[in-house]
Structure 1
Amino acid sequence: MNSSSTTASAEVGLRLLVPDRTIIPLLATLDYSADDPYAIRVAFHVGNEAPVEWIFARELLTVGIVRKVGRGDVRVWPAEKSGERILNLTLSSPFGRAHFEVPLTPLTDFLDRTYEIVPAGREADFIDIEAELDDLLWHI
C-alpha cells in the first residue's frame, strides 16, 4: 500500500464471479485522496484493456463490512467463504452486472489508512466549498 499524508492507494486481488460459476481473478487499484474525502476510486484491471473505473462512497464500503448496504447500482455485504472473510460487491450498469468477492483484510487495511488521513465525520473540513461553488458556477 502506498500513502502520503493526504492520499492512500492499494492493489487488491479480487474474484469476479460469472454466471456459469467460473471465478476470474482480477486486480483492482484503490485510491483515496483528502481532496475528495467522501470517495474511493477503484480501477478494475481486466486483461490488457484500459481499467474499468468506479467511484464508491467510502462509508458504503465501510458499512458493507458489517452488514448489507446499498441500493441500485452498487450493493455490498459481508460473508465468509471457505474460512475467509470477504466483502461481496455487485455493480450494475446499462452494460451488465458484475459480482466480485473482495478479501476483507486488505480492504480494511486500506480503509483504516483512509480514516487516518480524514477521520469519520471530518470530511467536510477537507472540502473548499467556495472553490467547489466557483467551479460549478463557471460551468453553467
Structure 2
Amino acid sequence: MGTESPAVRATVIFGLRTFGAVPLPVRADLEYDPSDPYAIAVGYHAGPGVVRWLFGRDLLADGLIAPAGDGDVRVRPAADPSRVIVELNAPDGSAVLEAPASELADFLDRTYDAIPAGDEARWFDFDHELTKLAMHD
C-alpha cells in the first residue's frame, strides 16, 4: 500500500434536465479518497438534503469520451461537446444531469495526479474492506 495521499475534492454545478425547461442548477461535491482508489463519490445537493452516489473513477473517465456504464450510473458526452451527461437510476427514481466536461476532466486529472491509473491496487486495503463488510453481517 502507498503512503497517505490527501483526498481530491471539487464542487461542480450540474444541470438537472427537465422536460421543456432550462436545466435546474444542482450543486455537486465530488470527492476522490485514495483509501478507496477505484471510486468517485458525488454528493448532489437536492432540496434540503444531499443525495450521495458512489461510482467508478474509470466510468467517469470513459464517459467523457464515449457512452459508458450499463447499470445505475451511465455517463456519456452530450451533443454539445463541452458538456457531459450523467444518468442516475435508483428504485426511487431517476435523474438526468449535465455538467461541464472541462470541470470533470480537471477533477479527474487531479485524481490521477494523486494515484495514477493502474496504481490503484497499491493503495487498496483489501483486509480493511473485508473488515468493513464483516461488520455489516
* Counterpart AA for 1:127: F
Tell me the TM-score normalised to structure 2 length: 0.88
Counterparts of 1:79-118 in structure 2, within 5 Å, are 79-81=78-80, 85-118=82-115
Percent identity at matched positions?
41
Separation in structure 1 between the aligned mates of residue 22 and residue 119 of structure 2, nearest angstrom: 42
Q: Which amino acid aligns with 2:19?
A: P
1:12 matched residue in structure 2? 12
Structure 1: 5+ residue runs without aligned partners?
A: none
> How far 1:96 moved relative to its partner?
1.1
Greater fraction of residues in strand: 1
- Evaluate the alpha carbon distance shift between residue 132 and residue 102 of structure 1 in structure 2; reply closer, same or farther with a 3 A threshold: same
Look up the match of 1:68. 67
Structure 1 residues 43 and 139, CA gap change in structure 2 (3 angstroms): closer
Q: Which runs of 4+ in 1 moved over 6 A?
A: none
Match of 2:116 in 1: 119
C-alpha change, 1:90 and 1:34, in structure 2 (3 Å) is same
Gaps of 5+ in 2: none
Count of residue correspondences: 134
RMSD: 1.8
